[in-house]
A and B are shown apart, each in its own frame.
Chain A
């Protein structure tokens, strides 16, 4: 925490600026003790004043949500909480080794809403034993509590975690590709009927409550980032902090920014990335933007037309966007952009 504060100060001295959004996440910031959070915010405020109405999000585990912490978070100016619910089914929470129960998740969500936070809840699809019926139960709880924002993720197996190992050995326990697609499309329909807008592959929001911070990232805005292994981005560049805690501490202690890599994107690569991130959003991208890629990325151009022909993408009002079914197979298209 001390090193993090130092990094914030270093960055601030190089060019502090007012913030529109602030996001505390990656790891479990809801576990951080009050005094530590207080001093972090003191440094942040010194260099990066928040403009009025700025979105300040904290990632939290349901079992960390207590009335004391709620008071603390409010005092610090945190106005949005992203709650890692995963499921409202105890069996599945056990499988994920989560510390919280379904009841705890429900209570946490309730108290955060009552305290006046904008609340986002995370759910997970693709878990072993998760049927459409069980999923429906979780979605019903959401509809009843009606948080402002919902993120639903498909379990990804590209990281070597425990479930990936299980999937290798007992693929039969996991829902099939067909089932997973069905669950995703079911969720889409359910949440839309419940009053949510599906504005990104995995994100739904009540009107006016889209995650401002993430939108900034998806639209290619400048994002500063602090902490071990944090990534930041500029208009056409990206950089990464060291993901090695010792190295990170050493660099910061020596008064240096702990960045270990920096990538400058070519104009074309930046465009390709913009299109890729743009097509992940419901508003899609300008047709001119994809047209400009036609010559450089002929595979993309051809496949995009396949998407259009198969109803996986739609052209409308000078823009092109993917449908939820299109999002489900969007890597096919995006692989032609890298």
Chain B
């Protein structure tokens, strides 16, 4: 296929700005799927993706388009994940494209996610085509949004396309613009093979399926290949394009996008961002590859300790098609045997938990999420601490560093005050405050990731009535005055409740956490004493008074059936508790730290 007839592009949009709907229209217009075959929003194939309206994994679809110039083009739409947790994958998907449709809601304007991804795309030299969606809505203000795009993102938006993906208005012009404005792929067909892996998924029948963009040379069935980062060699068993149904081919040539099976059985053998090379004639790898590391950690324990093997199997199966999360066996005094799991971010964590419960039927107790700290010990060692309970004792710590992020927040002017206050409370350092006109403000803050993982997003939404949008990128580590806050129940430290906090907040948080736990732990036969402590110093003490009354006064003849039901309900309630010595602790208590206001 002639390279000049290929266009590789993606769609950048904020959540709900119409990315999936536009993708559906493009599929429909090019006849990839008839309207009847279309299930709404074909590209989001996981149930969870459809329910939450977010894309978790990258997808791709190859469209055939007859342009007005009479030529037939191959358009490869590469759908990128839409969440900050997956920004590395986004960057790799973008690297497979020459251009991007920048879809902005003509009523709402530019949001943080649009901005972050547009910057990423611009950095990689992609041609951006601004598309104003939902122009059919009465509250649409295309002129204002056009100006905003120019001012905030800094790209020419005079010839932005005005469309309504919902009604199909203006969508044919989008196809023409893709052909006319996005450059064809520029690779060298005669050079040795270099193909970028921008997604990998596990297929139970054929093993690992990689999505690749051939940058130089060609990829053929039967070819011996090598993965640049690991040196792993394999043979191409099958390849093809997705239309979106798989269409097997013999080769993928320079500039093409498609899938490859190479007999690999484990997803962990393949890394997104890696380069596929010809084993016989390996070229240098493509730039930009990075090991992705989990940033957020939490303990996952089965509610019923007998479910431990079930949880282990479920985690192993899940990791077959999610190489980004990690799990290592963990043993908590409080919660028994479970796993310490690492995630890319909060959404990723939620997704994994939800899939474990939904797809594998494992009931879970989750500890509050925390970030990984870097500790320099007095012995001169550097230790990564993923579990607060394992923080070395204060005497052995020279320095603790915590991960920080650069947060980008877009908000209407009205809420700037509240947002700055929130960021300051969260130990933030202001980087930028820019009034963009039209009542919009861009706020940039450097924030400790730990202050963001718990409830920052919710708080941001509530202090801006849902109008502020937020995105972030990791910005290294920063030294902090951090201490471990222990929680003791009847004198025994509960490892699963330990947290690492900034010294300035320790007293407040300790008191608030002890108080919250007092509210959450039901009265028991014995008095329950809850203490918060830093090292050996107790900073807060709360008492759950012993239970005084739980009795059926009347128990005669026929009553027993009804009474049994009442007792059974109580028993069910007990089942959802974890027993710590003589104290029953409800599952929610392990997330109590989330409920403590800063």
A residues whose Cβ falls under 8 Å from a Cβ of B: 26, 152-154, 156, 158, 177-178, 180-181, 184, 201-202, 214, 217-218, 223, 225, 229-233, 238, 240, 273, 277, 280, 299, 303, 306-307, 310, 312, 327-332, 334-338
Question: With an 8 A cutoff between CB atoms, is B571 at the interface?
Answer: yes
Cross-chain contact A312 with B567 (CB below 8 angstroms): no
Q: Once the chains are docked, how many angstroms separate the CA of A142 from the CA of B567?
A: 33
A337 / chain B contacts, CB cutoff of 8 Å: 567
Whether the Cβ atoms of A277 and B555 lie closer than 8 Å is yes
Q: At the interface, yes or no: B357 with Cβ under 8 Å from chain A?
A: no
Do B556 and A154 touch across chains, with their CB atoms under 8 A apart?
no
Name 12 extra pairs, CB < 8 A, besides A240-B561, A336-B571, A338-B567. A152-B553, A154-B551, A178-B548, A225-B557, A229-B558, A232-B557, A303-B525, A310-B525, A328-B548, A329-B551, A330-B552, A331-B551
Residue-wise, chain B 528-568 has the 8 Å CB interface mask toward A (1 for contact) of 00000000000000000001111111111111111010111
Selected contact of A214 from candidates B526, B553, B556, B568, CB within 8 Å: B556
Partner of A177, one of B549, B553, B557, B570: B549
B581 to chain A, nearest CB (A): 11
Q: Which of A153, A154, A306 contacts B582 (CB 8 A)?
A: A306
Nearest chain B CB to A144's CB is how many angstroms away?
A: 25
- When distances are taken between beta carbons in the complex, the residues of chain A under 8 Å from B552 are 156, 201, 330-331, 334
Complex Cα gap A152–B551 (Å): 13
By a beta-carbon cutoff of 8 Å, the part of chain B in contact with chain A is: 525-526, 547-562, 564, 566-568, 570-571, 574, 582
How far apart are the CA atoms of A184 and B568 in the complex, in Å?
25
Complexed CA–CA distance, A332 and B549 (Å):
9
Which chain B residue shows the least CB distance to A305? B582
Query: Of all chain A residues, which has the CB nearest B550?
Result: A331
- Smallest CB separation, A307 vs chain B (Å): 7
Q: How far is the CA of A147 from the CA of B14 in the complex (A)?
A: 79
The verdict on A230 contacting B558 (CB below 8 Å), with A156-B552, A156-B553, A181-B548 known, is yes
- 13 of the cross-chain contacts (CB-CB < 8 Å) are A177-B547, A177-B548, A217-B556, A223-B557, A230-B557, A231-B557, A240-B561, A328-B548, A328-B550, A329-B549, A332-B525, A334-B552, A337-B567
On whether A330 and B568 interact (CB within 8 A), knowing A225-B557, A229-B558, A238-B561, the answer reads no
Chain B residue numbers with a CB within 8 Å of A277 are: 555
Nearest CB on A from B555, distance (A): 6
B526 touches A329 (CB 8 A): no
Q: Which 4 A-B pairs have the closest CB atoms?
A: A231-B558, A181-B548, A335-B570, A331-B550
Residues of chain A within 8 A of B582, CB atoms compared: 306
Complex: A336 Cα to B573 Cα, angstroms: 11
A225, B558: Cβ atoms closer than 8 Å: yes
State which of A180, A223, A280 has its C-beta within 8 Å of the C-beta of B549: A180
Contact of A240 with B526 in the complex, beta carbons under 8 Å? no
CB atoms of B553 and A330 under 8 A apart: no
Inter-chain contact A154/B568, CB cutoff 8 Å: no
Decide if A202 touches B553 in the complex (CB within 8 Å). Answer: yes
> Roughly how many angstroms separate A327 CA and B549 CA in the complex, as a whole number?
8
* Contact status A156-B567, CB under 8 Å: no
A328 contacts B555, CB within 8 Å? no
Q: Please report the C-alpha to C-alpha distance between residue A218 and residue B552 in the assembled complex, in whole angstroms.
A: 14
CA–CA, A229 and B574, complex, Å: 31
B566 touches A217 (CB 8 A): no
Report how far A307 CA is from B526 CA in the complex, Å: 10
Contact A335 B567 (CB under 8 A): yes
Residues of B within 8 A of A229 (CB): 558
A201 B550 Cβ-Cβ under 8 A: no
Given A225-B558, A310-B525, decide whether A158 and B566 contact each other with a Cβ distance below 8 A.
yes
Docked pose: A156 CA to B552 CA in angstroms: 8
A331-B567 contact, Cβ under 8 Å, with A181-B548, A201-B551, A306-B582: yes
Chain B residues within 8 Å of A232, by CB? 557
User: In the complex the two chains form, is A332's CB within 8 Å of B558's CB?
Assistant: no
Contacts of A202 in B (CB 8 A): 553-554
Compute how far the CA of A334 lies from the CA of B558 in the bound complex, rounded to whole angstroms.
18
Across-interface contacts of B559 in A (CB, < 8 A) = 231
* Residues of chain B contacted by A180 (CB below 8 angstroms): 548-549
Q: Considering residues A214, A303, A310, A329, which has the most beta carbons from chain B within 10 angstroms of its beta carbon?
A: A329
Contact residues in A for B548 (Cβ distance below 8 Å): 177-178, 180-181, 328-329
Closest chain A residue to B571 by CB distance? A335
Q: Is the CB of B561 within 8 A of A231?
A: yes
Q: Determine the distance from Cα of A328 to Cα of B548 in the docked complex, in whole angstroms.
A: 7
Q: Once the chains bind, are A328 and B570 in contact (CB under 8 Å)?
A: no
Contacts of A306 in B (CB 8 A): 525-526, 582
Give the shortest distance, in Å, between A66 (CB) and chain B (any CB). Answer: 27
A328 and B549: CB pair below 8 A?
yes
Q: Given the complex of chains A and B, what is the CA–CA distance between A178 and B29 in angstroms? A: 72
| Docked CA distance A280–B555 (Å) | 9
Closest chain B residue to A239, Cβ basis: B558
Contacts of B549 in A (CB 8 A): 154, 177, 180-181, 184, 328-329
Contact B560 A238 (CB under 8 A): yes
Residue in A178, A181, A225, A331 whose Cβ sees the most chain B Cβ within 10 Å: A331
Contact A330 B551 (CB under 8 A): yes
The reply to whether A332 and B553 form a contact with Cβ atoms under 8 Å apart is no
* Nearest Cβ on chain A to B234's Cβ, whole angstroms: 53
Name which residue of chain B comes closest to A185, CB basis. Answer: B548
Assembled-state Cα–Cα distance A43/B526 (Å): 55
Other-chain residue from B547, B557, B564, B571 in contact with A217 (beta carbon distance below 8 A): B557
Residues of A within 8 A of B554 (CB): 153, 156, 202
Establish whether residues A201 and B553, one from each chain, have CB atoms under 8 Å apart when the complex forms.
yes
Interface centre among B525, B547, B558, B568 (most CB of A within 10 A): B558
